[in-house]
Amino acid sequence: MFFDDQLVELIVRETNTYAAQKIQAKSFIPLRSRMWVWKPVTQDEMYVVLALFMLMEIIFFKKLYFATPNFGSIISMDRFESICNFMHFSNNDHIGTYQGPSKLFIIYPVLSHLNTKFQSLYLPGQNIATDESLTLWRGRLSFRQYITLKSSKFGIESYELCESSSGYLWSFIIYTGKDTVFQTAFISGDTKQQQLCWHLWSHC
């Protein structure tokens, strides 16, 4: 329900567009690169790749002891890596007309889609709460946060509106620093954390 045809079609379209852009710039492609044998990805293949991402998380601790031959029978390693190499969610040519958070340009269509789906597919109960979350991120990122009280310490900070009884995530916003985009007006004296909370509650 979350990764529906609309979202997967977007990923397929932008992945094929990005692949065409990279292949056209031939000077950036190594001689033996898999890019030279690229063929446009299909919607069915993209569903397979997304499913394998989820399965890899489930069997992460088992893979040290057990082989997973079913993966190779579904899609070859070369094809899987080629799709991952080109996977894209936004057209780089549209960055000049982009209206969302500048630091989230690449991933924003997916974030926006999921936020809409989370809210349209489920109505939370009476008891809801805002929560601060930190997703582990070890790479270089301009808006990576450091929170001493979190087990991950370094990562991507998000503020979430959740149903207290089930923990269902109903609305969220990624904190990117000073350029964090809000959709409502706030009292000038509010702190950044208060503004984020009001942003989430405004969807109720």
The three-point CA angle 111-160-135 to 5° equals: 70
b vs e for 147-166, b when ≥16 Cβ sit within 10 Å of the residue's Cβ? eeebeeeebbbbbbbbbeee
- Place 71 in a pLDDT band, splitting at 50, 70 and 90: confident
- Taking the C-alpha atoms of residue 62 and residue 170, their distance in angstroms, rounded to an integer, is 32
- Within the chain, residue ranges assigned H as helices are 5-24, 43-58, 69-74, 77-86, 108-120, 192-201
- Taking the C-alpha atoms of residue 124 and residue 17, their distance in angstroms, rounded to an integer, is 38
- Place 66 in a pLDDT band, splitting at 50, 70 and 90: low
**H or E element: which one contains 162?**
strand 154-163
- Averaged over 30-50, what is the pLDDT? 81
Helix, strand, coil percentages, rounded to 5, for the chain: 45, 15, 40
Please state whether the predicted TM-score (pTM) of the whole model is above 0.85.
no
CA dihedral sign of residues 88, 90, 100, 183: negative
Give yes or no for residue 24 having a pLDDT over 60: yes
Task: Provide, rounded to the nearest whole percent, the portion of the chain with pLDDT above 90.
Answer: 23
Q: What residues have CB less than 8 Å from 120, skipping those under 6 apart?
A: none
Give yes or no for residue 6 having a pLDDT over 70: yes
Give yes or no for residue 190 having a pLDDT over 90: no
Q: Which two tokens stand for residue 177?
A: 């620093």
Whole-number CA gyration radius for the chain: 20
- Taking the C-alpha atoms of residue 123 and residue 166, their distance in angstroms, rounded to an integer, is 12
